[in-house]
């Protein structure tokens, strides 16, 4: 079967295998291809359209209409009889036609409407909020990718160590069996050596499971398909075996300054929007000024019919200026305004709480960084020393100068030191992933 390979950061070939060659390129690929990105882009488009819709009050509204009225009972108007030559009498007359038709264009334009202005500003603020939420998501995405990437590298490192340990354990099993045949040891010692080899096999399986889990999780973040394959071609620089310096590559001695937590910026924007919503609700009590106009024709009929001949219609045009001052709305606007003020208070409290928690978490993060780096250096040195002692004990055991149980105890101490080193490395790189996401 022909396989196609590509490296993250380059144009993908028409294949199903991706090689991860560096953390920077892997993060860049996740930012570009993560499927959740499309959701945020659609939300930004939606917010932009909502803003354009909120700008509608800046333009006049126009409509073409036709209406007909059937005056079932014409109103009666009392008039002095002297007008009709009947002084001293009151005559009750009816004016108008039973059927009235109007057709034309109606126009309206808001001149002063603070509610509409604030709603437009809210829509514009929501665009910025969506953008900031996307930035906060990208921060979280970079952190997740970095942690999974480091997890995969640690798993690869552990597999390399386990492979060496397995060879060593298997050689002890073979040597024990040889000594059993020579009568120099007993079956219990052979079984103990085999158990030790099985323990290493379990460690190998756990490391492989961690590597597989990290790769599959990264596949989701990278927007890959279920059938795609990912190969981590990178490795922990500086690690070349048990005799290496065994320090965390790419981790400076002093933790760099943390960048701004983008989640805090989201809280700040939500705080501003809450304040604007309270002002918008308060503006419901402000006067509004609206200009209206009608330009059309009118027709009066005594029967239920419409004529379209010459002089059948009369011009009917007017313009008006409307000033509306809310006086009483059943306290609805009052309670809505109070609710908006409470929402603003809630946003202020959430912002204050988020800032304080972030400061505490950042302080602890930097302390943990320094602590785990010291722990890593100490555990790496101990791991080296335990490895040296193990090789010396192996040589003594091979020469018959050391019993197997003493050698097995040395091997257990070596494995414990190995796990301590890898755990400290994992913890430090997890913190480093958070620092990277804030840069």
What is the per-residue pLDDT for 254? 62
Strand 99-112, strand 61-70: pairing: antiparallel
What is the per-residue pLDDT for 100? 92
What is the per-residue pLDDT for 6? 42
Higher pLDDT, residue 247 or 393: 393
pLDDT more than 90, % of the chain: 54
- The contacts of residue 116 (CB under 8 Å, 6+ apart) are 54, 57, 110
Closest by CA to 46, choosing from 117, 131, 116, is 131
One DSSP character per residue, 103-127 reads: EEEEEEEEEE-HHHHHHHHHHHHHH
| Rg of the chain, C-alpha, whole Å | 41
Q: What pTM, to 2 d.p., does this model score?
A: 0.81
CA separation for the pair 324, 5 (Å, rounded) = 70
Structure tokens at 46: 């939606």
pLDDT above 70: residue 228:
yes
What is the per-residue pLDDT for 174? 87
Name the pLDDT band for 343 (thresholds 50, 70, 90).
very high
* CA dihedral of residues 411, 412, 418, 419 (deg, nearest 10): 160
Q: What is the mean pLDDT of residues 56-60?
A: 91
Strand 61-70, strand 229-232: pairing: unpaired
One DSSP character per residue, 176-229 reads: HHHHHHHTSS-HHHHHHHHHHHHHHHHHHHHHHHHHHHHHHHHHHHTT--TT-E
What is the per-residue pLDDT for 403? 82
All structural domains of the chain with their residue ranges: 114-225+235-287+328-437
Structure tokens at 432: 């480093």
**pLDDT tens, 59-90?**
999 999 999 988 888 888 888 888 877 888 88
Structure tokens at 122: 């809210």
Q: What is the mean pLDDT of residues 178-197?
A: 82
Q: SS3 of 432, please? A: helix
One DSSP character per residue, 266-279 reads: HHHHHHHHHHHHHH
What is the per-residue pLDDT for 77? 86
**pLDDT tens, 367-393?**
999 999 999 999 999 999 999 998 898
Neighbours of 219 (CB within 10 A): 17
Higher pLDDT, residue 355 or 235: 355
Architecture category of domain 114-225+235-287+328-437 in CATH:
Up-down Bundle (1.20)
CA separation for the pair 306, 285 (Å, rounded) = 45
**What is the overall mean pLDDT for the chain?**
86
Contact 393, 110 (CB under 8 A): no
CB-based burial label for 291 (10 Å; 0-12, 13-18, 19+): middle
What is the per-residue pLDDT for 87? 85
What is the per-residue pLDDT for 406? 85
pLDDT above 70: residue 240:
no
CA separation for the pair 274, 8 (Å, rounded) = 42
Name the pLDDT band for 104 (thresholds 50, 70, 90).
very high
Q: What is the mean pLDDT of residues 305-313?
A: 84
pLDDT above 90: residue 191:
no
Contact 160, 242 (CB under 8 A): no
Q: SS3 of 241, please? A: coil
What is the per-residue pLDDT for 152? 93
Name the pLDDT band for 7 (thresholds 50, 70, 90).
very low
Among 212-221, 251-260, 387-396, 404-413, the range scoring the smallest mean pLDDT is 251-260
Name the pLDDT band for 155 (thresholds 50, 70, 90).
very high
Measured between alpha carbons, how far is residue 395 from residues 176, 238, 249, 411 in Å?
13, 28, 32, 13
Q: What is the mean pLDDT of residues 140-144?
A: 95
Strand 5-7, strand 17-20: pairing: parallel
Higher pLDDT, residue 107 or 409: 107
pLDDT above 90: residue 236:
no
62 strand-pairing partners: 107
* CA dihedral of residues 200, 202, 206, 211 (deg, nearest 10): 60
Q: SS3 of 49, please? A: helix
**pLDDT tens, 10-22?**
434 444 788 888 8
Structure tokens at 157: 């490192």
What is the per-residue pLDDT for 251? 54
**pLDDT tens, 254-300?**
666 788 899 999 999 999 999 999 999 999 889 999 999 999 999 98
């Amino acid at each position: 079967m022909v396989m196609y390979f590509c490296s993250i950061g380059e144009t993908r070939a028409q294949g199903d295998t991706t090689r991860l060659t560096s953390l920077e390129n892997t993060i860049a690929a996740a930012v570009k291809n993560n499927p959740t990105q499309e959701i945020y882009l659609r939300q930004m488009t939606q917010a932009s359209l909502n803003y354009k819709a909120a700008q509608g009050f800046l333009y006049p509204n126009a409509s073409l209409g036709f209406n007909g009225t059937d005056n079932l009972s014409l109103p009666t108007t009392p008039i002095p009889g002297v007008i009709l030559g009947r002084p001293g009498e009151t005559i009750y007359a009816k004016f108008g036609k039973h059927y009235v038709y109007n057709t034309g264009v109606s126009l309206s334009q808001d001149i002063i409407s603070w509610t509409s202005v604030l709603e437009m500003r809210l829509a514009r603020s929501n665009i910025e909020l969506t953008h900031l939420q996307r930035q906060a998501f990208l921060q979280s995405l970079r952190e997740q990718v970095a942690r999974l990437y480091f997890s995969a590298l640690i798993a690869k490192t552990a597999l390399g160590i386990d492979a060496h340990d397995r060879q060593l354990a298997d050689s002890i099993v073979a040597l024990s069996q040889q000594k059993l045949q020579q009568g120099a040891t007993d079956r219990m010692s052979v079984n103990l050596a085999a158990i030790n080899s099985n323990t290493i096999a379990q460690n190998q399986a756990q490391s492989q499971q961690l590597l597989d889990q990290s790769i599959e999780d990264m596949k989701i973040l990278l927007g890959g398909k279920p059938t795609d394959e990912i190969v981590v071609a990178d490795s922990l620089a500086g690690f070349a075996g048990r005799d290496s310096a065994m320090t965390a590559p790419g981790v400076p001695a002093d933790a760099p300054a943390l960048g701004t937590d983008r989640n805090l910026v989201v809280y700040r924007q939500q705080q501003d929007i809450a304040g604007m919503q309270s002002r918008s609700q308060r503006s419901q009590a402000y006067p509004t000024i609206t200009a209206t106009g009608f330009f059309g024709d009118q027709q009066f009929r005594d029967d239920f019919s419409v004529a379209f001949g010459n002089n059948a219609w009369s011009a009917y045009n007017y313009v008006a200026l409307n000033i509306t001052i809310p006086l009483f709305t059943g306290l609805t606007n009052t309670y809505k305004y109070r609710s908006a003020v409470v929402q603003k208070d809630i946003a202020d409290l959430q912002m204050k709480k988020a800032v304080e928690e972030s400061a505490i978490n950042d302080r602890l993060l930097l302390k943990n960084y320094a602590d785990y780096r010291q722990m890593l250096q100490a555990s790496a040195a101990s791991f080296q020393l335990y490895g040296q002692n193990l090789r010396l004990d192996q040589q003594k055991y091979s020469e018959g100068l050391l019993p197997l149980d003493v050698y097995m105890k040395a091997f257990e101490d070596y494995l414990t030191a190995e796990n301590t080193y890898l755990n400290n490395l994992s913890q430090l790189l997890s913190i480093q992933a958070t620092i990277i996401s804030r840069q």
